[in-house]
């Protein structure tokens, strides 16, 4: 399967009416009245559609913000004096779409981006399909999990900033290069940490164009920072950092993505209020300041982006329980505040799990505060789900947040037990998490499954939580089978590497069960990353036993074949086909 066909474009194109033909064109304005000025036509698309006056504030106008509606940005205005011609469908150069099986969506699409900007002076010729690929394929997939406003802002910023635009073109060209590589399903030919793409082996002319656009973006942005031109624009620095990270992740070059992420956090240290001791509020990036810290936290849990650990230790770990106002249903506000709370919660769990020097009594008090906030958040999310005015796509996003809420609740309940035995009391919760995940994925395929990569907190994290923390054999192996079949990449998670690394600890734990089926603390292991050899496609994985020995921490290494599913079930005498169980799981 190749990339799905383009989603239907919005039909509310902005047109400029011709001057009225009636009336005396030589009539003088009446005395005592000031001559009228030309009417401003630079309002946002949303205000034009609603036929209301727009204050023309960028990137989101004040009227849309106060009305709690999505601001769809601005279209370039070219004055005309002739009668508009009937609109013709724009011609687009598309990536190959043979053998595509994607069907029409049965659910209202939440992601809405601007129409094609083929007439924009800086995007012409061969660059047009790359920009369109980003807007119509990559950006909607990246926006899938409550990040529509972020990536629509990136697209809009790319129309004005040359460096961001070059990075967008690089990502679009890389996506076409990946989809052109084979006529099979894109997911099975994408880049990975196992086989990263690089300039040493150029795959096709789209890959070459991608590298040239990327080089132009990076070199120009570096000169801009060195000359001080970009130092006063944190928003553009943050967006440029994001698109550079996405480019490297798509290439499978996680080491480069790790370096860019760490550098971006260092540059924006004084502009992000999530850092300890930072009280400066930058309205310019207030709505997206959690994005880079959230990526850093996720990278630590995947053990593939560890370069930002110093910055993570400096992040705040206390809950910020600022919920949306009662009676006002503003989904954008809900998503932004939840992502901020989620980042703080994951920071606290990360610092607790990885040996933070915080005293135990302070951890207990902090955990109690998070429990209070989690209860309030659950009540608020359920209130939104019961609102009939919220469409099906937004309710799916709310259901995903509830999944993450459930994982965080279980994690805080067991975070002070370093043996991992406390998780055994939450088997029913793990079963419910797995059921919700399977239902969510099935709906994703019915609607329009992402093709290359999603961004932010997706479905893989809850699945891996079941694999790692649940000691019920059938549940954890079913969750592993579901995760292994995910055809898209989620953020910094390299699915195959992370999953096979986790399954190494599952193999050791399953072999360590006693005669009653219980896994004692001395047989519970946790994956702590490993060294990958792309040439041999193997990983030297390291595992840590949470119950220390007489001489301190106990570690073990396994040589993992990244092309082979570990034979866990045979080792414990299980004959169940867990992939088949996942298809009928209730």
- Give the model confidence (pLDDT) of 569-578 as tens digits: 887 888 888 8
Q: 538-549 and 525-533: which strand pairing?
A: antiparallel
Q: How many CB atoms lie within 10 A of CB 187?
A: 19
Provide the pLDDT for residue 100. Answer: 38
pLDDT beyond 60 at 231: no
d(CA 366, CA 343): 15
Model confidence pLDDT, tens digit, residues 88-109: 333 333 333 334 333 333 333 4
Provide the pLDDT for residue 283. Answer: 62
Model confidence pLDDT, tens digit, residues 248-257: 988 888 888 9
Q: How confident is the model at residue 449 (pLDDT cuts 50, 70, 90)?
A: low
Q: How confident is the model at residue 33 (pLDDT cuts 50, 70, 90)?
A: low
**Radius of gyration over alpha carbons of the chain, in Å?**
26
Provide the pLDDT for residue 94. Answer: 32
Instruction: Give the range of the structural domain holding residue 561, as residue numbers without chain letter.
Output: 463-586
Q: Is there a domain that residue 353 lies in?
A: no
Q: Is there a domain that residue 441 lies in?
A: no
d(CA 224, CA 500): 42
Provide the pLDDT for residue 507. Answer: 93
Average pLDDT score over residue span 331-342: 89
Provide the pLDDT for residue 119. Answer: 42
* % helix, strand, coil for the chain, step of 5: 50, 5, 45
Q: Is there a domain that residue 29 lies in?
A: no
Q: 489-490 and 453-454: which strand pairing?
A: parallel
Q: Is there a domain that residue 351 lies in?
A: no
Q: Is there a domain that residue 546 lies in?
A: yes
Q: How confident is the model at residue 278 (pLDDT cuts 50, 70, 90)?
A: low
Q: How confident is the model at residue 65 (pLDDT cuts 50, 70, 90)?
A: confident
Q: Is there a domain that residue 512 lies in?
A: yes
Provide the pLDDT for residue 211. Answer: 93
Q: How confident is the model at residue 66 (pLDDT cuts 50, 70, 90)?
A: confident
pLDDT beyond 90 at 466: yes
Let me know: does 193 contact 489? Beta carbons within 8 Å: no
Q: Is there a domain that residue 516 lies in?
A: yes
Provide the pLDDT for residue 9. Answer: 41
Distances (CA, A) of 8 to 111, 114, 133, 134, 577: 11, 12, 14, 15, 40
pLDDT beyond 60 at 164: yes
Chain-centre distance for alpha carbon 72: 20
Provide the pLDDT for residue 31. Answer: 53
d(CA 145, CA 72): 18
Q: How confident is the model at residue 377 (pLDDT cuts 50, 70, 90)?
A: very high
Q: Of the ranges 60-64, 137-141, 229-233, 476-480, which is most confident?
A: 476-480
Quick one: which of 332, 256, 241 has its CA closest to 292?
241
Distances (CA, A) of 189 to 10, 94, 172, 184, 411: 32, 19, 16, 8, 35
What is the 3 state secondary structure string of 343-366? HHHHHHHHHHHCCCCCCHHHHHHH
Provide the pLDDT for residue 445. Answer: 61
Q: Is there a domain that residue 509 lies in?
A: yes
Instruction: Tell me how many domains the chain contains.
Output: 1
Query: Mean pLDDT for the chain?
Result: 78
Q: Look up residue 303 and give its two tokens.
A: 């053990």
Q: How confident is the model at residue 427 (pLDDT cuts 50, 70, 90)?
A: very high
Provide the pLDDT for residue 90. Answer: 39
pLDDT beyond 60 at 168: yes
Provide the pLDDT for residue 35. Answer: 55
d(CA 541, CA 507): 13
Lowest-pLDDT range of 110-114, 162-166, 529-533, 543-547: 110-114
């Amino acid at each position: 399967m190749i990339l799905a066909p383009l989603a239907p474009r919005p039909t509310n194109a902005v047109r400029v009416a011709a001057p009225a033909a009636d009336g005396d064109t030589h009539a003088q304005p009446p005395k005592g009245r000031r001559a009228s000025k030309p009417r401003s036509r630079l309002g946002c698309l949303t205000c034009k559609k609603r036929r209301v006056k727009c204050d023309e504030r960028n990137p989101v106008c004040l009227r849309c913000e106060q009305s709690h509606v999505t601001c769809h940005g601005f279209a370039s205005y070219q004055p005309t004096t002739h009668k508009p011609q009937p609109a013709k469908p724009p011609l687009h150069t598309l990536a190959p779409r043979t053998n595509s099986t994607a069907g029409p969506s049965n659910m209202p699409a939440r992601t809405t981006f601007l129409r094609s900007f083929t007439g924009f002076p800086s995007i012409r010729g061969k660059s047009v399909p790359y920009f369109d690929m980003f807007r119509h394929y990559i950006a909607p997939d990246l926006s899938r999990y409550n990040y529509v406003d972020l990536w629509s802002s990136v697209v809009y910023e790319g129309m004005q900033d040359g460096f961001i635009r070059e990075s967008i073109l690089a990502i679009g060209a890389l996506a076409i290069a990946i989809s052109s590589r084979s006529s099979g399903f894109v997911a099975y030919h994408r880049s990975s940490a196992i086989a990263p793409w690089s300039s040493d082996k150029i795959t096709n002319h789209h890959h070459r164009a991608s590298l040239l656009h990327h080089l132009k973006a990076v070199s120009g942005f570096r000169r801009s920072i060195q000359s001080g031109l970009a130092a006063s624009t944190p928003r553009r620095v943050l967006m440029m950092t994001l698109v550079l990270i996405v480019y490297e992740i798509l290439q499978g070059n996680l080491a480069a993505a790790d370096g860019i992420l760490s550098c971006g956090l260092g540059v924006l240290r004084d502009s992000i209020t999530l850092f300890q001791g930072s009280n400066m509020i930058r309205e310019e990036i207030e709505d997206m300041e959690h994005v880079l810290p959230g990526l850093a936290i996720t990278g630590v849990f995947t053990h593939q982006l560890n370069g930002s650990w110093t910055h993570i230790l400096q992040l705040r770990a206390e809950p910020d329980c600022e919920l949306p106002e009662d009676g006002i249903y503003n989904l954008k506000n809900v998503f932004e505040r939840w992502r901020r709370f989620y980042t703080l919660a994951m920071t606290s769990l990360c610092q607790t799990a990885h040996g933070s020097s915080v005293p135990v009594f302070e951890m207990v008090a902090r955990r109690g505060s998070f429990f209070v906030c989690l209860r309030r958040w659950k009540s608020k999310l359920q209130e939104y789900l019961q609102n009939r005015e919220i469409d099906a796509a937004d309710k799916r996003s709310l259901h995903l947040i509830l999944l993450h809420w459930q994982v965080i609740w279980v994690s805080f309940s067991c975070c002070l037990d370093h043996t991992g035995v406390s998780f055994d009391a939450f088997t029913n919760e793990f079963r419910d998490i797995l059921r919700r995940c399977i239902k969510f994925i099935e709906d994703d395929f019915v609607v329009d499954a992402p093709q290359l990569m999603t961004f932010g907190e997706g479905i893989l994290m809850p699945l891996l939580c079941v694999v790692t923390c649940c000691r019920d054999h059938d549940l954890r192996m079913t969750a592993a089978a579901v995760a292994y079949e995910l055809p898209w990449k989620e953020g910094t998670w390299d699915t195959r590497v992370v999953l096979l690394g986790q399954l190494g600890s599952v193999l050791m734990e399953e072999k360590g069960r006693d005669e009653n089926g219980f896994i004692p603390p001395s047989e519970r292991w946790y994956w702590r990353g490993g060294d990958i050899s792309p040439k041999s496609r193997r990983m030297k994985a390291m595992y840590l036993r949470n119950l220390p020995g007489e001489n301190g921490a106990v570690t073990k290494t396994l040589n993992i074949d990244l092309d082979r599913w570990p034979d866990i079930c045979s080792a414990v005498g299980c004959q169940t086909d867990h992939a088949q169980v996942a298809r009928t799981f209730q």
